[in-house]
Each structure stands twice: as structure tokens, then as C-alpha cells.
Structure 1
């Protein structure tokens, strides 16, 4: 990458070959314009997938529902919802909306098992931060371009 003397250290100029490689990488990822907000949302939901799976196992193991296998079904459906949200993250705001639904489900789950409330508060706080900071970074990048 080249750097002009009159520019700040953050303003790097790509050579033509680097620009072509960058454009090819963006096309391969399925998007021309990457959204920091959606990238952060995907990371947060990816971590939550494991936790939701463990919550489903906990609901089953503690026998919160009668029959106990209902806890596994609820955990599986919630995991499937997260996977669909991750898959739809590039398509408009559908993935973001499904992410909000997942976070709402934490608070519904707290009615059945109170410790889910603490997990929900932690991940919803992370989600809110990702939404806020990602949108802020996207706005700053858009203003710079």
C-alpha cells in the first residue's frame, strides 16, 4: 500500500492491484459494502448460539418442563432461529430483527428459569453495544467516503 505524505496515517491509498484484490474479496463475501454493525451482530449471535444450546440442555436436565424433552425442543428452535438470523444478516435488516427477537426470548425464558435473566441481560447489553457502536462506525465511514 502506498501512503502520501500529506495524508493522515489512517488514510491509506490502495494501488490498482490492491484495489482489484479488495473488490474481489468483497464480491466473494457476497457483498460490495460491508456493514460493521452487521459484522458485530454476527459475532455476538455466533457466541450466543453456544449459550442458547447450553440453556436448552439446562432446561432439559433440570426438568423445567413436563415432559423434559420440551426443553431440548425449545433450545433447538432458539438455536435454529439464531442460525437463520446469521444466514439472513446480509439481506437487509432481517437478520438484525431476528437478533432482537432472540434477545426478547431470553426475557421470556426468565419466567421459566430465573438465571436465564442474567444471561439475557449480559448478551442484550453486548447486542445493544454492537448495534450502537457498529452504526456509529458505519456512519463515520460513510461520511469519510
Structure 2
């Protein structure tokens, strides 16, 4: 004797208050909602991690005294971090954040001319960025196609 489940009950997912708070926080930060974009969500995660690495690169340029005065390394790192934050903020509403994200990838690559190991960082985050742009757009197209059925 198997007991049949009520499909209506299974369709309604009930979250605990702490789970609901976490879900609301994450979707609010990522700018998701009813019309969320996977591409923007993936781009946000990539830029969030890159933000930390870019600041550390600025500290490395300062510590190695590659620029004169050395404080320019920190200033450059903070400036690129500011661009990352601006891109993250604008990404929630418009595609301008995506374009600023592309600019950040180019700036990080150009930083490799000051400190050669930055090319490895640029390659890693640049390839991740390209993957997120391509795969995220594909997922968004497939979701839109599925929703129209």
C-alpha cells in the first residue's frame, strides 16, 4: 500500500524564518526577483571575488614600491575596487554594470605591465568573466523560452 502525496503540498515550499531571511538577503543583494538574470548574478559573484583580489594587488604594488610615490599602488587598487563596486551597484538595474565589469577586466590585464603575476590573475578572472557572460546569457535565453511555453 503506497500512500499518494498531495501535489499541491509538494509544490509549496515552506521556508523557516531564518531560511526566508537568508533567501531574501541573497536575492536582494544579487538584485534578483521575479525577473532575475543569471548572467547578472554570475557576474556579481565574479566581481565580488575580484574586488578582494584587486585590493590585495594594490597592496602588493605598494609593498613592492613599483610606483613612485608608493602610495599610488594603494590608490590604484582602491580606484579599481571602486569601479567594481560601481559595476555591482549598477548591475542590479541596468546592463551598464556589465560594461563596467568588462572595463575592470581590461584594467586588471593592463596591471600586468606593472607586476607580471597580475597577468595570471587577469587570465583567471577574465576567463571566468567570459564564461559567466556566455553561459549566463544562454541560461537566461533558455529560461525565457521555457517560460513562454
TM-score, normalising length: structure 1: 0.80
Structure 1 moving runs of 4+ over 3 Å:
28-32
Structure number with the higher helix fraction is 2
Task: Say how many residue pairs are matched.
Answer: 128
How far apart, CA to CA, are the structure 1 residues paired with 2:89 and 2:45?
12
Structure 2 counterpart of 1:83: 85
Structure 1 pair 119–91 and aligned structure 2 pair: CA distance change class (3 A): same
Structure 1 counterpart of 2:63: 61
Can you give the 5+ residue segments of structure 2 that lack an aligned partner in the other structure? Answer: 1-5
- Residue 136 of structure 1: CA displacement? 0.6
How far apart, CA to CA, are the structure 1 residues paired with 2:145 and 2:67?
52
Which runs of structure 2 are paired with 1:22-101 in the superposition (5 Å)?
Answer: 29=28, 31-101=33-103
Determine if the alignment matches structure 1 residue 134 to structure 2 residue 139. Answer: no
TM-score, normalising length: structure 2: 0.78
Can you give the 5+ residue segments of structure 1 that lack an aligned partner in the other structure? Answer: 5-12
